[in-house]
Amino acid sequence: MLRWLRQNICLLAVLAVLTLPAAAREIGPDGRPLGLLGRDVEARFLYPAGKNFDYNCLFPVVLEYQNLSSSPQYMVLKWPLDMEVSPSYKTVQLEPGAKKRLHFLLPPRSASNLFNVEVNAQNVNVGLQNNSQNPVTGLLAPKNDALDFLRGLQVEKNRYYNPSQSSDAEEYHTLQAVSTINHEVFPTHWGALEALDVLICYDLNALNLGTEQLNAIKNWVIQGGELVIISNGIPNEYKGSPLEDILPLAPKGSHKASKTILVVGAPTPDAQVVSSHEGQPLLLKRPVQSGQVYYLASPLLDTNILGKDETTSLWRSIFGSVVSKGQTGGPFTFNVLDSMPELPRTEAVWVALFVILYGIIVGPVNLTILRKKDKMLLAFVTVPAVAILFAGGAYTINRILRPSTPVLREIGWLQMPAGSTTGVAAAEQILFSPSGRWFTFTSDSTTLFDTSRNHYRNRHQFGLFEVTPELGLRSSLEMGTWDIQRFNSRSVLSLDSPFQGQWKEESKTVTITSPLNSQGKTAVVCHPKLAVSEPFELKKGTNDYQVSFLQSSSPATSIVFDEKENPGRRDLINQVWNNNSMDPNHIKLFFFTEELKTPLKLEESAKYRHDYLVTVAFKR
C-alpha cells in the first residue's frame, strides 16, 4: 500500500487541487456547485449615471450576469446593504451564453456603503466614487473617448479660493468628478440622473435613446440640471424629439466655417448668445424653469478648431455657473406637527380629570375599602391592578379616538411661469401611521420622493426604488405604531390653462387669468416699488382686482390665515420670499390653494390634506 502511495502521490496531489474548489463552492438549487466567476459565469456592474455619487441623491447601478459555460448556471446574490431585494434577484438561472441585467435604484445615503456584492460566494467590486464636494459631470457620447479632451482643460472653478472676489483671482482646475455614462442602461426616470450636476451630450441619435430616456433628460433639466448639447452638425438632429422644446436655437440650416460647420437658426426669445464664431452664434444658453440648457452649434470635439485658449474660455463660461446641489431641495417647516387637525389632541382638562380620578381610586377609595375589610396588605396587589386597568383604558380610548387610517399631509410650493401650463413643485410630506406596518409609495414619471433632503433627522429610510411599468417610481417605508415620518418630493405639475396677468399702473388694478382658486383671502400681489398688497380672494377665470398696498415688505405679514388649521404656511412663505429676490421688471402673485397635490399615492387609501403656495411672475 505504501509503495502504491509513493508511486501515485503526484496524481493524488493533482486530484486534490482539482477537487478542492468544487468542495469549497456553494451548491446551487439543482444540486451542482455554483459556477466560478471568470470561468463559468461573469458578473460586472454598469453605471447608468457614471461612477460618481452624492450622498443625498438616488443612485442607479446595474448588475449584469452572463453564462460563459455550455450548461445552465445559477447566480446566487447576497446583498450587503440593510434592505431587502426582490426574491427574483436573489437567484437567477441562465442558459448557456445568456445575459441578464438587474437594475438597482439605491435610496440616498446607501451608495456609500455598497463596496461589493457577493455572487456565488465570490465578491464583485462595485467601484463607486464619492464626490459630494464637487459638481459631478456626466459625459454621454457614442464613443467613450469622444469627449475626453474636456478632462485636460482647466475649466472648473475652485469654489473655495478667491479671496479678493475678483474674476482675475479666480482659480481653475481640471474637472474633479467626471463620469462616463453607459448609454446601454441609460435611465428612464429623471431621478436616476440626480447624481449629476452637468450632463454633456454629443450625437444622441447615434445612441438610439428612447423617447422615455430623452424625457428623463428633459425632466432632469426642468428640476435644476445643467445640460450641454454638442451639435453633430446636422440641423434636424433633434427634430420631433422631447429635447427640441428646450433647445436655445431653432435650427434652420448649416453654415460652413473655416475649420468646422455651424448649425444656424433663430435663437429662442429667452435664449442668450454666449459666444459667436465668424459672425454666427456658437454657444447659446437658455433657462428652462429651474435648470438651463447650453447648445454648442458645432461639433467641437477637440481644441484644434478654436485653439486651446479659446476652447478653455468657452467651457469656462459653461462651468462657471455650476453649483453642486448639496442639501438644496424642498421646503422644510417647523410647526406642521404642532397642529394637525386630522390628529386631534386630547384636551388638557380631560387629562387632568383622568389623573384626578386615578388618584382618587388608587388612594382614598382603595385604601378606605381595604381599611374597612382590614386587608391593607392587599394594597400591594390592588394598586398595580388599578394602574394597569387605567393604562389599558387610556390606550383603548386613545385608539378609538385617534384616526384608524393613515394621514398624509403635504405643504408645497409651485413656481408657475406666466404663459406656461407646467411648473416645478417642491413639497414636504408628513405621514402619520396609526399602526405599525409597511407602506408602499408610487409616483408618476415626473415625481421624485426621498428622505435625504429633509432638514429633520429621519427615523426611517426608504428601501430600494424601482421604476414602474408607467415609468414612475415605487419604494417602501416601514413605520411603527403612532409613528410620524417626514420626507420631501419634487415634481412637474401641469395645469389645464396658463396664468396671465396685466398691471394697470394708474388705477392700481391687476387683471389675472387663473386656472385655480385661492383658499380664502390668501392672494397678494408683490410690486417691486409699492411693496405688498392687502390679501384678496383669487377666483378661477379672468377677473380684475383693485388692490391697495400695505407698508409691508413680505407676504408673510400680509396674508391672514388660521395657524392651527394651516400649520407651516408662515415658514414656507418666508423661505420662498427670503430665497427669491424681487425682479424690478416683474410683479409677483402669491396665493395658497388646496386644489393641487403631488402625484404620490400610498398602497392603500389614506386621509390626504394638500396645501400649496403658488407663485407667478408677470411682466409689468
Q: Three-class SS string for 493-542?
A: EECCCCCEEEEECCCCEEEEEECCCCCCCCEEEEECCCEEECCECCCCEE
Domain boundary pick from 129, 145, 173: 129
Q: Of the candidates 576, 583, 607, 611, which has an alpha carbon nearest to the alpha carbon of residue 595? A: 611
Together in a domain, 428 and 552: yes
Does residue 332 belong to any structural domain of this protein? no
Asked if residue 100 and residue 148 are part of one domain, the reply reads no
Helix or strand or coil: residue 348?
Answer: helix
Say yes or no: 257 and 394 in one domain. no
Distance from C-alpha of 34 to C-alpha of 74, rounded to nearest angstrom: 6
Mark whether 279 and 383 lie in a shared domain: no
Does one domain contain both 305 and 360? no
Residue 329 lies in a domain: no
Per-residue model confidence (pLDDT) at position 456: 56
Task: Return the C-alpha cell found at 434.
Answer: 396609526
**Whole-number pLDDT of residue 168:** 57
Rg (CA), the chain: 32
Asked, for residue 340, whether it belongs to a domain, the answer is: no
Half-sphere exposure of 46 (CA within 13 A, CB side): 16
The cell numbers describing 20, all together, are 478542492
Q: What are the distances in angstroms from CA 18 to CA 3, 22, 26, 41, 72?
A: 24, 8, 16, 18, 21
CA 132 to chain centre: 15
Rounded CA-CA distance 101/185 in Å is 9
C-alpha cell at 538: 383669487
N- to C-terminal Cα separation, the chain: 106
What pLDDT sits at residue 137?
93
> CA 263 → CA 225, 278, 303, 329, distances in Å?
24, 13, 19, 36
339 in a structural domain: no
What does the pLDDT read at residue 549?
Answer: 85
- The residue among 562, 546, 560 whose CA lies nearest residue 591 is 560
Residue 304 lies in a domain: yes
Domain membership flag for residue 34 = yes
Give the residue carrying C-alpha cell 437594475: 103
Determine the pLDDT at residue 458: 61
Pairing of strands 407-415, 448-450: unpaired
Helix axes 348-360, 379-401, angle to 10 degrees: 160
In whole angstroms, what is the distance from residue 226 CA to residue 50 CA?
A: 16
Domain count, the chain: 4
Weakly modelled stretches of the chain, pLDDT under 50? 2, 4-5, 10-23, 163-164, 326-328
Q: Tell me which residue of 547, 544, 545 sits closest to 558, measured CA to CA.
A: 547
Domain end marker among 129, 147, 174: 129
Kindly state whether residues 125 and 138 are assigned to the same domain. Answer: no
**Residue 562: its pLDDT value, please?**
84
Domain CATH code at residue 76: 2.60.40
**Phi and psi based region of residue 541 (left: phi greater than 0; alpha: psi -120 to 50; beta: remaining):** left
User: Do 313 and 368 lie in a common domain?
Assistant: no
According to the model, what pLDDT value does residue 517 have? Answer: 96
**Which residue among 274, 302, 319 closes a domain?**
319
In a domain, 328, yes or no: no
Say if CB 161 and CB 25 are below 8 A apart. no
One domain for residues 460 and 556: yes
As a whole number of angstroms, the distance between CA 160 and CA 178 comes to: 19
Neighbours of 576 (CB within 10 A): 19
* 3-state SS class at 92: strand
In this prediction, residue 167 carries a pLDDT of: 55
Indicate whether 169 belongs to any domain.
Answer: yes
CB–CB of 287/225 below 8 Å?
A: no
Interatomic CA distance for residues 496 and 595, integer angstroms: 12
CATH code of the domain containing 297: 3.40.50.880
Helix (H, G, I), strand (E, B) or coil at 118: strand
What residue has cell string 394637525? 340
Are 361 and 444 contained in the same domain?
A: no
DSSP SS3 for 132: coil
Contact between 235 and 177 under an 8 Å Cβ cutoff? The reply is: no
Q: What is the dihedral of CA 407, 331, 415, 317, to 10 degrees?
A: -150
Task: Give the whole-angstrom CA distance, residue 155 versus residue 311.
Answer: 10
Q: Do 526 and 505 share a domain, yes or no?
A: yes
Distance CA 606, CA 407 (A): 6
Pairing between strand 122-125 and 154-157?
Answer: unpaired
Instruction: Find the domain containing 23 and state its range.
Output: 19-129
Q: Is 85 found in the same domain as 220?
A: no
**Whole-number Å distance between alpha carbons of 331 and 592:** 15
**CA distances from residue 134 to 52, 129, 583 in whole angstroms, order as listed:** 10, 12, 30
Whether 75 and 207 share a structural domain: no
